[in-house]
Amino acid sequence: MSLQYSHLLIPECVELVPRPAQVVAFLEGLVKLNCAPLGATFRVGKLSGSARTGINPLTGEELSIGVRDFTPLGSTSEIPELLAGLDDYDVIVSGQGPSILPPFTLYTATQSAVSEFKGTYGYDVRCRLRSAIVSTCEIPPFGGPGSLDGRNGIFHHPITGATMEVPNAACARFWIEFQFGKWLLPKIGNSLNLLQPAILSNAIEHFGIEFAQGCICE
């Protein structure tokens, strides 16, 4: 079993559906900040019409997950045309890290997470939109149907397993993921507010809304 850590930016408005131009501006903002993956490639994923089925490990209910087909792009300028009219998509920028200004310092995943990682690693930035509100935390399961009963997102510390509760992070239609090489993660204390402030400011500027931070480990 391997640990794959993803850091999340979750908009405080669960119904946010950004314009394609906003997604492009955010990604281009990362480039200007020297925070983007190096040697980046771009893909847009759209629902193919088919689905995979599985079982919810918590409830035993059958799940149906839409399969997405991915189209490679030459640059961010091609994104708006592909996103036009879509209410479900993944925009994925894949490359290498560390960038000149990384999202945060990464460490090898151990019980203390104190061994700073000095090498290169895979680095993805993913902007995701779904047609309905989904869970962006661990309870209910990430990516499944979201609930508006409570807005506090429940996460678990990837090393200690301690519960971490984040206001306004339980669910959304749109969110952003920062994903790194396996077994790599930031040093986490009592808060998930870990991203470089410039990255958070870039998201707030281009999407016009505040964001909470969360994490998912697979």
Cα–Cα distance, 92 to 94 (Å, whole number): 6
What is the domain count for the chain?
Answer: 1
182 pLDDT above the threshold of 70: yes
Closest to 88 (Cα-Cα) out of 106, 67, 107, 59:
67
Full residue range of the structural domain in which residue 88 is found: 5-217
For 31-89, write each residue's pLDDT tens digit. Answer: 999 999 999 999 999 987 666 666 655 556 666 667 788 999 999 999 999 999 999 99
pTM score: 0.92
